[in-house]
Structure 1
Amino acid sequence: MRYGPGPLQRGFGLIELLVALTLGLVLVLGVVQVFVASKQTFVMQRTAAGLSEDARYVTSRLSRELRMVGMFGCVDLDRLPAGIRNSIPPVFNSPISYSSSAGNSILKLVTAVPNHESVAIAQMRTPGDYGANWLIATNCKDTGDLRLSDGGPLVVRPGDIVIPLRQMEYRFSNNAIQVRSNGAGNFQTLVDNIADLNVSFGLAATAADTRISGGYVVAAPGIDARRIRSVNLQWQLSDNPAAPASGSVQAREVKQVVALRNAID
């Protein structure tokens, strides 16, 4: 019995294998490119969202603080008897101030801590009980009945309203907005990536006027705080604050104008 050659069997040749590898490589490169592009888009969106969130946070916080500048609860400094008025800290008459030196600019604000307390029994209180720098006790009826502490214990009586006051400092330094309370401790960073910050004040013609006269004036030391009616803040946020034009996303421009409560029509 003779056995002849069987059916001819064929496999992949070298050319077919190279073509298959090339097509596979092109497919893999396409998938990688899509992945890289998607990741870049995600990173850019996250960066832009982070800048927007920082802008919203700072805007909300500064708006709240600025509106309350110079608010001392039921106490009206202009109606206090001369003897008491002369004894209050001078900073109360300048509850907002601005200074700039050595690359740092600081906006100082004196405001009431939003947790006034009505007293039912005689007791001792200190500013530290409220995280404040000063403490006022008054019955809010008799302008001559006002007691103030700048750190030590204060006797409060039944019927008193306890008004804690604090000083907040907002500093622009090293491309960040930083904050410190009551002049104690180190500045803590609120937000970074601040490329630029400009502060200007809307001034009244005199301390007695309630309307802004002549537009806004660039904030500087020596401005009469009694004439300040509103604050204009403009800043720029960028993921590359040293060179905003070279950032991965477009720099965010923020403008905020805040009127001081009860100081403007």
Structure 2
Amino acid sequence: MITHTKGFGLVEIMLALLISLVMSLALAQVFTTAKSTNLSQNASASLQEDARFVLAKMVREIRLAGMFGCLGRVQDSSVGGRFSDAFNTPVQWDARQKSLTVMTAPVGADSPWHEWIVHTDCLTLATAWSRGHAPSLQAGEIALPVQRHVYRLNEQRHELTLDGQPLLSNIRAFSVLFGVADSASEPGIARYTHQPDPARIRSVRLTLTLFDPADRTQEQTFNLVAAVRNRLG
């Protein structure tokens, strides 16, 4: 008497296992891709946020570059006559050192630090003094503090510093171009250059390239143009 048994054969079991394995690998690939995409997007957003923070800070200071009072002439009574250099070249770019120097008014009314201070009545007198050497304000005078900030790229450490202190890491490149007019009296920008005549500067173009140290996203380059106001513009 022949008895028929019900169940799966070896071939069927192996085929089912193969199908399950293929589906598991497909699901794993989907999850891996989704995770990689999420990490890439987060890394990209982080680079954008870092660049936005640094460039916004630079732009605020560049817009106030050359804010040395109400008058076109300022008597230099600072120690060593160093204020004159700041007055003549409020924005400087050193391509070899990868450094940007900005002579600017403090951003924010509560900023306690400054390198020079200008006393002026906005009518006839304006005098620059070094910090700690200025006399008391006379009647009708106002005090305008002036700061000196230096942004420099440390290429070995891929780090942007501000006045010698680390500001932002993972910087691949940092460069500056100046939008200049054809003459000191013209307001429009004729071209961009690395070596401008300070009297012809109308804007500053900042370029910053950031990278992700974990290589989760591609390098990103950010550009921002800041109009120079006050005495230069």
Would you call these one fold, judging by a TM-score over 0.5? yes
Asked which structure has the greater CA Rg, the reply is 1
Quote the residue 2:160 is aligned against. 177
Q: How does 1:212-227 map to 2 (within 5 A)?
A: 212=188, 214-217=190-193, 219-220=194-195, 223-227=196-200
Question: 1:19, 1:31 → 2: CA distance?
Answer: 18
Quote the sequence identity (%): 30
How many Å apart are 1:57 and its aligned residue?
A: 2.4
| 1:229 is the counterpart of 2:222 | no
Structure 1's 19 and 154: CA in aligned 2 closer, same or farther, altered over 3 A? farther
Quote the residue 1:198 is aligned against. 175
The higher relative CO (CA closer than 8 Å, separation ≥ 6) is in 2
How many Å apart are 1:171 and its aligned residue?
A: 1.3
Structure 1's 132 and 143: CA in aligned 2 closer, same or farther, altered over 3 A? same
Structure 1's 114 and 62: CA in aligned 2 closer, same or farther, altered over 3 A? closer
Question: 1:116, 1:158 → 2: CA distance?
Answer: 22
Amino acid at match of 1:256: L
How many Å apart are 1:97 and its aligned residue?
A: 1.1
Unaligned residue ranges in structure 1 (runs of 5+): 118-128, 181-185, 241-246
Q: How does 1:51-200 map to 2 (within 5 A)?
A: 51-72=47-68, 74-76=69-71, 78-80=72-74, 84-85=75-76, 89-90=83-84, 91-101=86-96, 104-115=97-108, 130-138=112-120, 140-144=121-125, 146=127, 148-152=129-133, 154-156=135-137, 160-174=141-155, 175-180=158-163, 186-194=164-172, 196-200=173-177
Question: 1:260, 1:193 → 2: CA distance?
Answer: 25
Question: 1:147, 1:225 → 2: CA distance?
Answer: 20
Unaligned residue ranges in structure 2 (runs of 5+): none
Q: How does 1:4-15 map to 2 (within 5 A)?
A: 10=6, 12-15=8-11
Structure 1's 260 and 18: CA in aligned 2 closer, same or farther, altered over 3 A? same
Amino acid at match of 2:70: V
Root-mean-square deviation (CA, aligned residues, Å) is 3.3
| 1:28 is the counterpart of 2:24 | yes
SS at 2:49's partner residue?
helix
What is the aligned length? Answer: 224
Contact kept in structure 1, 2:100 and 2:152, CA below 8 Å: yes
Structure 2 length as normaliser, TM-score?
Answer: 0.77
Question: 2:77, 2:187 → 1: CA distance?
Answer: 27
Structure 1's 38 and 145: CA in aligned 2 closer, same or farther, altered over 3 A? closer
How many Å apart are 1:68 and its aligned residue?
A: 0.8
| 1:257 is the counterpart of 2:233 | no
Structure 1's 235 and 145: CA in aligned 2 closer, same or farther, altered over 3 A? closer
Amino acid at match of 2:191: G
Structure 1 length as normaliser, TM-score?
Answer: 0.69
